[in-house]
């Protein structure tokens, strides 16, 4: 009975809305005319997004083609999933997969906790001026380019006259080829990321920390809790949701291992450990001109990436967060 | 919040302050070192050791790089793409953000969805490269400015910012005969100066720091921005040591490489105080949802 009622209500609503629909048409015209300047302002932006974002998405079709630039998408020969077959059976595939995953895992294990620790340390500082002084200095590396960061690391670590190698040489009598030795590659990538971004990463945690209720600290002090217990039982639980959502977001961008950064650090000696999906696309596509094949690799990466982002967002919502998209 | 002045708390503070000081120094000392070495005479540098203040001042490195026109040219290219590029960014982003901030605009939803989707999925490197090539932008400086004209993220943040501006002001301007374009430029943008300052700084830093697009789209080395030149002089020269197949790269003395790093970093450090004033606000702007 209830179902029937609901059904008839829906029918009525539909009839009413179709009657309104006719009126809405003239309303649409009127509102478009009213907002004509707004639409004119939208136009350049819409053209930008179509040309530079959506046309390339259409261009992905070349992943299924033997793409020749002079023939274009319309003229090139269709080859189905040949490129994907080749990619998955190539021994390179496992190497790229391993390198990408390892860098991502190292970044999460070694990089991710550090901004939290630094934010907690800053939060314990009572002298505002000292706190601001430290903040000012630790944010600086975020703003310089990866070229400068890698360049400075090169200058500090090179085996000819690099300061750190000089120090190591004086202490141990040996020099370490940080920059050429493939064993050091991942350490270098992670430590450069830490140096550049750790300070900047504290901002969001500091904002979360400032939202923790001060009364909780007062109450716990009366109960006799010391600083460590307060940190453990009040501060950390207070920013737990921020930590979780950022971790989830980081997982969503799992495959984005920092292309520009890795690209700069790659040298003929460390390709075995340094090549990731993005650098492979660049080499195959733009230096070896295998356009269709590299577009296919790029598409594979984009789809896995999209799945991860959506999955992470779903997870975030399950944790009671708002989600990002 | 206050703590009792117990020994434990004092020790805690002492260790905490020292560690923070060390971390802060670790973030800036490399810059100081690079600056000091660039001003030191090459003979002293060869002797080795840590230089945080030049013992023998020397301008040799700077005299050398000023005598070649490569550095000047790259600096000019970088300044050009930073100024013009940022202007394009601001114009395009605000022109698109303003209409999207109007909740009554028909078709607003689908357009926003279309913008959001580009943050999740992209055509990727190769198809984008062909679009830029087909438009004959390769080997021009436009290729460093037009393909990145609007950042979807900044667009959404600016749209949210515009939404918070009360409609009353805009309505009264309209009654006075202003159209929407006039309202944006005469009323809304002047009211949004703090936000615009934040965006221009973020866009400008991104332009100054970009190098990969230049490697991708520009073959002509007279059009290289400073970051690409820096990569050539500092990183490529270094990583090719021991690789005998590449003997085309000239390896410059340490002091000269340091001086180029100084040039590629200096503008950032100069605007940093202004940046610092605004970026916290910018980060907070990003957290507004809508």
B160 pLDDT more than 70 = yes
Residue A41 within any structural domain of the chain: no
Same domain, B82 and B216: yes
B245 pLDDT more than 50 = no
Query: What is each CA distance from B4 to A252, B19, B184, in whole angstroms?
Result: 44, 22, 56
Specify whether the CB–CB gap between B36 and A152 falls below 8 A. Answer: no
pLDDT in tens, A71-86: 888 888 888 889 999 9
Same domain, B274 and B135: yes
Query: What is the per-residue pLDDT for B279?
Result: 64
Residue A52 within any structural domain of the chain: no
In the DSSP assignment, the letter for residue B41 is -
Judged on CB neighbours under 10 Å (0-12, 13-18, 19+), B200 is middle
pTM: 0.85
Ramachandran bin of B249, using left for φ above 0, alpha for ψ from -120 to 50, beta for the remaining angles: beta
Q: What are the backbone dihedrals phi and psi of residue A78, each rounded to the nearest 5 degrees, phi first?
A: -80, 135
The H or E element containing residue B114 is helix B108-120
CATH at A143:
1.10.3720.10
Same domain, B13 and B152: no
Provide the CA A135 distance to its chain's centre, in angstroms: 23
Same domain, B44 and B78: no
Same domain, B124 and B238: yes
Contacts of residue A28, defined as CB under 8 A and 6 or more positions apart, other chains included, come to B106
Same domain, B113 and B243: yes
| Binary contact (A45, B212; C-beta < 8 A) | no
Residue A174 within any structural domain of the chain: yes
Q: Which residues of chain A have pLDDT under 70?
A: 1-26, 320-325
Give, in degrees to the nearest 5, the angle at Cα B89 between B84 and B91.
95
pLDDT in tens, B43-98: 777 666 666 777 778 888 888 888 888 888 999 999 999 999 999 999 999 999 99
Based on the structure, what is the number of domains in chain B?
Answer: 2
Query: What is the per-residue pLDDT for B262?
Result: 92
Query: What is the per-residue pLDDT for A18?
Result: 52
Same domain, B84 and B49: no
Q: What residues in A contact B37, CB-CB < 8 Å? A: 155
For residue B269, the chain A residue with the least C-alpha distance is A140
Q: What are the backbone dihedrals phi and psi of residue A266, each rounded to the nearest 5 degrees, phi first?
A: -70, 135
Same domain, B189 and B105: yes
Q: Closest Cα to residue B160, out of B191, B195, B184?
A: B195
**Weakest-pLDDT range from A85-99, B132-146, B170-184:** B170-184
- Note down the domain range covering B142: 67-285
Q: What percent of chain B has pLDDT over 70?
A: 87
Based on the structure, what is the number of domains in chain A?
Answer: 1
Report the C-alpha gap between A278 and A93 in whole angstroms: 12
Residue A149 within any structural domain of the chain: yes
Provide the CA A156 distance to its chain's centre, in angstroms: 28
Residue A126 within any structural domain of the chain: yes
In the DSSP assignment, the letter for residue A111 is I
Is the CB of B283 inside 8 Å of chain A's CB atoms? yes
What is the DSSP pairing of strand A77-78 with strand A65-66?
Answer: antiparallel
Residue A64 within any structural domain of the chain: no
| Binary contact (A309, B209; C-beta < 8 A) | no
| 3-class DSSP state of A77 | strand
Q: List the structure tokens of A118.
A: 């630094």
Tokens 């202003």 belong to which residue?
B178
Q: Mean pLDDT in chain B?
A: 84
Report the C-alpha gap between B279 and A185 in whole angstroms: 32
pLDDT in tens, B180-233: 888 888 888 988 887 888 888 889 999 999 999 999 999 988 899 999 999 988
Across the strands, what pairs with A66? A77
Q: Closest Cα to residue B164, out of B101, B214, B212?
A: B101
In the DSSP assignment, the letter for residue A231 is I
Same domain, B254 and B122: yes
Report the C-alpha gap between A123 and A239 in whole angstroms: 12
CATH at B162:
1.10.3720.10
In the DSSP assignment, the letter for residue A202 is H
Same domain, B15 and B131: no
Best mutation target among B31, B88, B123 (most A Cβ atoms within 10 Å) is: B123
Q: What is the dihedral of CA A62, A67, A71, A72, to 10 degrees?
A: 20
Residue B290 within any structural domain of the chain: no
Cα four-point dihedral sign A36, A37, A40, A45: negative
Specify whether the CB–CB gap between B214 and B137 falls below 8 A. Answer: no
Residue B2 within any structural domain of the chain: no
Same domain, B43 and B95: no
Query: What is the per-residue pLDDT for A74?
Result: 83
- Note down the domain range covering A152: 82-318
Length, in residues, of chain B: 290
Residue A75 within any structural domain of the chain: no
Report the C-alpha gap between A26 and A42 in whole angstroms: 22
Query: What is the per-residue pLDDT for A5?
Result: 45
The widest CA-to-CA distance across chain A, in whole angstroms, is 90
Q: What are the backbone dihedrals phi and psi of residue B55, each rounded to the nearest 5 degrees, phi first?
A: -85, -40
Residue B1 within any structural domain of the chain: no
Specify whether the CB–CB gap between A157 and A178 falls below 8 A. Answer: yes
The H or E element containing residue B13 is helix B7-38
Q: What residues in A contact B179, CB-CB < 8 Å? A: 37
Q: List the structure tokens of A278.
A: 């993005």
Report the C-alpha gap between B210 and B207 in whole angstroms: 5
Same domain, B46 and B87: no
Q: Say which of A124, A154, A281 has its CB closest to residue B235.
A: A154
Query: What is the per-residue pLDDT for B48?
Result: 63
Report the C-alpha gap between B281 and A17 in whole angstroms: 45
Query: What is the per-residue pLDDT for A6?
Result: 46
| Binary contact (A69, B130; C-beta < 8 A) | yes
Residue A201 within any structural domain of the chain: yes
Helices B152-163 and B254-285: crossing angle in degrees, nearest 10, is 40
| Binary contact (A48, B150; C-beta < 8 A) | yes
Q: What residues in A contact B2, CB-CB < 8 Å? A: 126
Please measure the distance between the N-terminal and C-terminal CA atoms of chain A and give it in whole angstroms. Answer: 39
Q: Say which of B16, B95, B121 has its CB closest to residue A302.
A: B121
Residue B214 within any structural domain of the chain: yes
């Amino acid at each position: 009975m209830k179902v029937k009622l609901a059904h008839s209500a829906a029918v009525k609503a539909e009839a009413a809305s179709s009657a309104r629909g006719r009126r809405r048409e003239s309303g649409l015209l009127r509102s478009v005319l009213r907002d004509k300047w707004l639409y004119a302002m939208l136009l350049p932006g819409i053209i930008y997004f179509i040309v530079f974002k959506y046309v390339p998405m259409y261009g992905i079709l070349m992943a299924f083609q033997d793409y020749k630039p002079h023939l274009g998408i319309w003229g090139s020969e269709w080859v189905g999933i040949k490129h994907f077959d080749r990619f998955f059976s190539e021994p390179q595939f496992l190497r790229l997969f391993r390198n990408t995953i390892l860098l991502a895992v190292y970044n999460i294990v070694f990089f991710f906790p550090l901004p939290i620790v630094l934010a907690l340390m800053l939060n314990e500082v009572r002298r505002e001026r000292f706190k601001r002084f430290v903040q000012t200095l630790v944010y600086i590396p975020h703003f310089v380019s990866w070229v400068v960061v890698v360049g400075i690391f090169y200058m500090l670590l090179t085996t000819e006259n690099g300061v750190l190698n000089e120090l190591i040489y004086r202490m141990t009598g040996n020099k370490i080829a940080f920059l050429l030795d493939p064993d050091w590659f991942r350490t270098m990538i992670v430590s450069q990321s830490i140096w550049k971004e750790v300070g900047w990463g504290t901002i969001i945690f500091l904002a979360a920390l400032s939202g923790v209720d001060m009364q909780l600290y007062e109450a716990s002090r009366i109960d006799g809790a010391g600083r460590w217990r307060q940190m453990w039982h009040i501060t950390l639980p207070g920013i737990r949701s921020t930590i979780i959502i950022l971790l989830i977001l980081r997982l969503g961008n799992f495959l984005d291992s920092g292309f520009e950064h890795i690209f700069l650090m790659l040298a003929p000696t460390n390709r075995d450990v340094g090549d990731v999906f993005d650098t492979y696309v660049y080499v195959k596509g733009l230096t070896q001109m295998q356009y269709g094949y590299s577009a296919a690799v790029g598409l594979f990466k984009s789809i896995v990436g999209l799945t991860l982002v959506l999955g992470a967002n779903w997870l975030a919502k399950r944790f009671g967060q708002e989600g990002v998209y | 919040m206050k703590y009792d002045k117990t020994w434990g708390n004092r020790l805690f503070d002492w260790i905490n302050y020292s560690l923070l000081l060390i971390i802060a120094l670790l973030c800036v000392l490399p810059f100081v070192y690079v600056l000091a070495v660039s001003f030191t005479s090459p003979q002293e540098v060869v002797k080795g050791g840590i230089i945080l203040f030049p013992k023998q001042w020397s301008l040799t490195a700077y005299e050398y790089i000023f005598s070649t026109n490569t550095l000047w040219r790259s600096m000019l290219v970088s300044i050009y793409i930073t100024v013009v590029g940022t202007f394009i960014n601001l114009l395009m982003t605000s022109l698109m953000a303003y209409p999207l901030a109007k909740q009554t605009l028909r078709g607003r939803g689908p357009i926003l969805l279309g913008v959001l989707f580009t943050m999740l999925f992209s055509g990727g490197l190769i198809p984008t490269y062909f679009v830029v090539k087909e438009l004959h932008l390769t080997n021009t400086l436009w290729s460093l400015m037009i393909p990145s004209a609007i950042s979807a993220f900044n667009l959404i943040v600016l749209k949210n910012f515009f939404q918070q501006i009360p409609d009353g002001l805009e309505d009264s301007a309209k009654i006075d005969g202003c159209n929407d374009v006039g309202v944006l430029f005469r009323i809304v943008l002047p009211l949004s100066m703090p936000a615009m300052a934040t965006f221009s700084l973020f866009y400008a830093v991104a332009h100054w720091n970009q190098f990969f697009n230049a490697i991708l789209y520009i073959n002509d080395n007279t059009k290289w921005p400073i970051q690409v030149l820096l990569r050539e002089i500092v990183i490529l020269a270094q990583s090719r040591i021991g690789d005998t197949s590449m003997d085309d790269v000239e390896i410059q003395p340490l002091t000269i490489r340091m001086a180029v790093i100084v040039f590629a970093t200096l503008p950032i450090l100069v605007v940093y105080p202004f940046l610092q004033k605004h970026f916290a606000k910018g980060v907070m702007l990003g957290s507004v949802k809508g």
